[in-house]
Amino acid sequence: MRKNYLLTRRGLLCLCLGTLASIGTLAKSTAFNNQVRDFTAVGEASLKERAAAKGLIYGSVGKYRTLSSDAEFSSRFPQECAMLVASNELKWRGIRPSPDRFDFTKGDWLAEFASRHNMLFRGHTLVWHNGLPEWFQEKVNSQNAERMLVDHIKKVAGHYAGKIHSWDVVNEAVYPTHGRAEGLRDSPWLEFLGLDYIELAFRAAREADPKALLVYNENHLWYEGQLRANTPTGEAKRTAVLKLLERLKSKGTPIDVLGIQGHLRGHQLDQLHPKKLRAFLTDVANLDLKIMVTELDVRDHKLPKDIDVRDRLVAKAYEDFLSVVLDEPAVMAVFTWGLSDRDTWLSRVARRKDGLPVRPLPLDAQLNRKLAWNAMARAFDNAPMR
Ligand code: XIL
């Protein structure tokens, strides 16, 4: 009897300890922690004001189509943003309808909108394997590629010279699993021009617009593992990007900034390794380069349905990422890939299976501030001064 009783007491003790241990594990887990995180932002100041108070620039991509047709959105946009980033309007497909014709209409409208509202204007992008016009494949070849590329940069960057704060000169050129020299991505530019196309592009951009900051922009640098089979790990990408930047700098290439695309994934935040990302930023800064977070948004298509839970996880992603990145003084700017859930590319490319609208941006579809906005505001408020 007595023995049994003792065993029961021991059993009870084990049960209690077990329960305490699992509460401990839960407390460490993302979801639980997040329920108690306080996303309070002090005061009503806008994101651009909070960023500016720390010597940072905040802005967003804005589409011609939305800004020119949605009066409510276009008046809200400059209240939060100090920079307007062109969306598709300055990409090859957006600006070069035929080999010999450039159409600056939409880009000019954006430049004028930015200037009218005292915003800086940012160009995206002069060289990319994507966003090419339909005629490209038929008309561009290894004989004329150099002329086509240099001509394009001179015309486009030349047209906006004096109006552009910074240009994404080359976008997403690194992809180590393609097995090419220097870890570069398979792209028509690499195929036609070889390794030096990147340097060629930066030199042409500097000549066309000596004042704009020239940016090399890359994706998936924040992410640790692979996105899918055959995609490079974040580690492999960071290593190859550093090598590329070192090579460009050692050759005296006019490059000023590394752009880190911030397309985060709310359901895969365990892929963010603060120490590794932080160390990478130091390595980049040591090359005497500035850094911009260029395309920040948070995919929520695989997060729970409940809006409160979802918004908290999205906000957590913003705050966790930005608190690592803004710790590096070389980071000079943060740009989201959209301001409001009303207008985001993710409602097309990362839809929810339950059909609910996605909520990846700082403002909701009614242009109200969400927890993601609070998270950004807090990250700016807590950032060290530049
Ligand atoms: C996206 C645009 O948002 C879409 O409207 C377009 O259809 C495809 O391109 N990385 C980039 C951006 O550098 O140019 C991409 O923009 C998003 C991913």
Task: Return the pLDDT at 34.
Answer: 63
Burial of 42 (0-12, 13-18, 19+ CB in 10 A): exposed
pLDDT confidence of residue 186: 97
Atom of ligand 1 nearest to the CA of 219: 10
Pocket test residue of 90, 292, 293, 295 for ligand 1, highest count of atoms within 8 A of CB:
295
Q: Kindly report the CA angle at 111 between 106 and 113, in degrees rounded to 5?
A: 90
- Atom 1 in ligand 1: residue holding the nearest Cα: 345
* Interval between CA 220 and ligand 1 midpoint (Å): 14
Ligand 1 centroid distance, CA of 349 (Å): 10
Please tell me if the CB atom of residue 88 comes closer than 6 angstroms to any atom of ligand 1: yes
26 C-alpha to ligand 1 centroid (Å): 37
Give 143 Cα–ligand 1 centroid separation in angstroms: 29
* Ligand 1 binding pocket mutation candidate from 65, 67, 87 (most atoms within 8 A of CB): 87
| CATH number for the segment(s) 47-382 | 3.20.20.80
Length of the chain in terms of residues written:
386
pLDDT confidence of residue 310: 97
- Tell me what pLDDT residue 33 has: 52
Nearest atom in ligand 1 to the alpha carbon of residue 172 is 13
Q: Which two tokens stand for residue 19?
A: 């329960």
3-state helix, strand, coil in the chain (%, to 5): 50, 15, 35
CB-ligand 1 contact for 335 (6 Å cutoff)? no
The residue to mutate among 260, 337, 361, having the most atoms of ligand 1 within 8 angstroms of its beta carbon, is 337
Q: Is 343 in the pocket of ligand 1 (CB under 6 A)?
A: no
Q: Determine if ligand 1 sits within 6 Å of the CB of residue 295.
A: yes
Closest by CA position to 43, among listed 383, 309, 369: 369
For the Cβ of 168 lying below 6 angstroms from any atom of ligand 1, the answer is no
Instruction: Report the predicted TM-score, pTM, of the whole model to 2 decimal places.
Output: 0.92
Ligand 1 mean position to 344 CA, how many Å? 10
Closest ligand 1 atom to 124 CA: 14
Q: How far is CA 178 from CA 71, 79, 188, 235, 269, in A?
A: 45, 43, 13, 15, 26
* Ligand 1 atom index nearest CA of 217: 13
Q: Give pLDDT, residue 36.
A: 80
Ligand 1 mean position, distance from CA 259 (Å): 15
Active centre residues (catalytic)? 172, 295
What is the reported pLDDT for 55?
A: 98
* In the chain, domain spans: 47-382
Our mutation pick for probing the ligand 1 site, out of 299, 339, 345, counting the most ligand atoms within 8 A of Cβ, is 345
Distance from the alpha carbon of residue 23 to the mean position of ligand 1, in angstroms: 42
b/e burial code for range 220-253 (CB count within 10 A of at least 16 → b): bbbbbebeeeebbbbbbbbbbbbebbeebeeeeb
Q: What is the pLDDT along the chain (386 residues), one digit of tens a residue?
A: 333 333 344 444 444 444 344 333 333 444 445 668 999 999 999 999 999 999 999 999 999 999 999 999 999 999 999 999 999 999 999 999 999 999 999 999 999 999 999 999 999 999 999 999 999 999 999 999 999 999 999 999 999 999 999 999 999 999 999 999 899 999 999 999 999 999 999 999 999 999 999 999 999 999 999 999 999 999 999 999 999 999 999 999 999 999 999 999 999 999 999 999 999 999 999 999 999 999 999 999 999 999 999 999 999 999 999 999 999 999 999 999 999 999 999 999 999 999 999 999 999 999 999 999 999 999 999 999 99
Q: What is the residue-wise DSSP string for 230-281?
A: TSPPHHHHHHHHHHHHHHHHHTT----EEEE--EEEGGGGGGB-HHHHHHHH
Indicate whether residue 171 lines ligand 1 (CB < 6 A).
Answer: yes
Compute and round to an integer the Cα radius of gyration of the chain.
Answer: 23
- Among protein residues, the one with the nearest Cα to ligand 1's atom 13 is 171
- Please tell me the predicted confidence (pLDDT) of residue 5: 35
DSSP label at 1? -
